[in-house]
């Protein structure tokens, strides 16, 4: 399978030893370095200038409506440059925010609209997400947004867990959830909004037809459903290996991603679903998926104003 970056080759030297454990900062995991992109939207939708922010090394602002591909960072974001039917648009849901002497990542759930007089008037709900992977640009349509995200990167270690700093705001009206897909009015949903952290260790393979399959080797999956206005530093989540469906802390959303598969690029350069077909604690790890989101429940679902701050993302060996 074609992949852009091997995480093992990027782990930087900043590490600490705690007993028999080693903690290493992920590449750009301190969220201190950002690339700024300037997108000029089409005049038919107002001609505004939008700024998109990507996690990685860069010196000058990238100006111009050109597709972006990271050359040095394993991180991607839900912010995107789209060109649909010749109309250029930028959507920003991830921002750098000052924290102490450096920065953190601020992931926001925002209403995002596109209005063209006499042609289209659409407002959708976009969730802020950062993840290891890629988002090929320009996005050309709004169909099945999850399929646009290339999830995961090559990784071969059986780690103990991850550590990160976070704080969280549920969103408007106590985190009231809704679905706003641009078709009709916003649809109220049961429950309250929750931020989500997902880490999957997978053993992937590709068949002769280019289909990609995976066994789930290890799982970290947590939702945060209460406001946390102050920073929680060094929050640790341990990986659980093998079939976790019998674990007392298992939740249905932690299961194999069968109904809502994630996507990758196969050896033919095609974007295809990752078909998780079982659990196997003993299988060698080939890929890691790591995702932080300001909401859960899929595309166009969340609570406007929900905000998830993330900093200092580390791996525990």
Q: pLDDT tens digit string along 62-115?
A: 999 988 888 899 999 999 999 888 889 999 999 999 999 999 999 999 988 666
Average pLDDT of the residues of the chain: 90
Q: Tell me which of 196 and 6 has the higher pLDDT.
A: 196
- Lowest model confidence (mean pLDDT) among 5-19, 123-137, 292-306: 5-19
Q: What is the pLDDT of residue 234?
A: 98
Q: Count CB-CB contacts under 10 A for residue 251.
A: 11
Q: What is the pLDDT of residue 19?
A: 62
Q: DSSP letter string over 271-305?
A: EEEEEEEEE-TTSPP-EEEEEEES--SSTTEE-TT
Q: How many residues does the chain have?
A: 317
Q: Give the pLDDT band (50/70/90) at residue 5.
A: very low
Q: Quick one: which H or E segment has residue 175? A: helix 172-175
Q: CA-to-CA distance for 88 and 81, rounded, in angstroms?
A: 7
The percentage of the chain sitting over the pLDDT mark of 70, rounded to a whole number, equals 91
Q: Count CB-CB contacts under 10 A for residue 58.
A: 16
Q: In degrees, to the nearest 5, what angle opens at C-alpha 146 toward C-alphas 144 and 147?
A: 75
Identify the bridge partners of residue 139 per DSSP, sorted by sequence position.
82
- Written as six digits, the tokens of 155 are 């990784």
Q: What is the pLDDT of residue 16?
A: 57
Say if pTM beats, i.e. exceeds, 0.85: yes
Closest CA to 198 of 37, 55, 308: 308
């Amino acid at each position: 399978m074609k992949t852009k970056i091997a995480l093992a080759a990027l782990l930087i030297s900043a590490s600490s030893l705690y007993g028999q454990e080693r903690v290493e900062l992920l590449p750009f995991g301190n969220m201190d370095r950002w690339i700024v992109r300037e997108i000029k939207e089409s005049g038919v939708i107002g001609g505004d200038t939008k700024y998109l922010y990507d996690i990685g090394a860069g010196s000058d602002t990238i100006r111009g409506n050109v597709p972006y591909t990271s050359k040095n960072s394993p991180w991607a974001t839900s912010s995107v440059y789209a060109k649909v039917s010749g109309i250029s648009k930028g959507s920003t849901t991830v921002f750098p925010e000052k924290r102490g002497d450096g920065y953190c990542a601020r992931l926001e759930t925002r209403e995002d609209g596109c209005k063209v007089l006499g042609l289209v008037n659409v407002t959708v709900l976009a969730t802020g997400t950062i993840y290891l992977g890629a988002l090929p640009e320009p996005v050309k349509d709004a169909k099945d947004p999850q399929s646009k995200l290339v999830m995961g990167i090559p990784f071969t270690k059986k780690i103990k867990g991850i550590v990160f700093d976070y704080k969280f705001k549920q969103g408007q009206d106590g985190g009231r959830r809704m679905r706003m897909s641009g078709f009709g009015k916003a649809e109220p949903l049961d429950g309250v909004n929750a931020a989500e952290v997902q880490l999957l260790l997978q053993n992937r393979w590709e068949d002769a037809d280019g289909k990609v399959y995976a066994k789930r080797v290890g799982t970290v999956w947590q939702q945060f459903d209460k406001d946390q206005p102050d920073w929680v530093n060094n929050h640790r989540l341990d990986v659980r290996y093998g079939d976790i469906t019998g674990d007392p802390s298992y939740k249905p959303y932690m299961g194999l991603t069968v109904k809502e598969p994630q996507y990758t690029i196969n050896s033919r350069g095609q974007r295809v679903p990752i078909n998780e077909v079982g659990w196997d604690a003993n299988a060698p790890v080939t890929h890691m998926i790591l995702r932080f989101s300001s909401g859960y429940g899929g595309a166009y679902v969340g609570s406007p104003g929900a905000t998830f701050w993330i900093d200092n993302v580390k791996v525990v060996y």
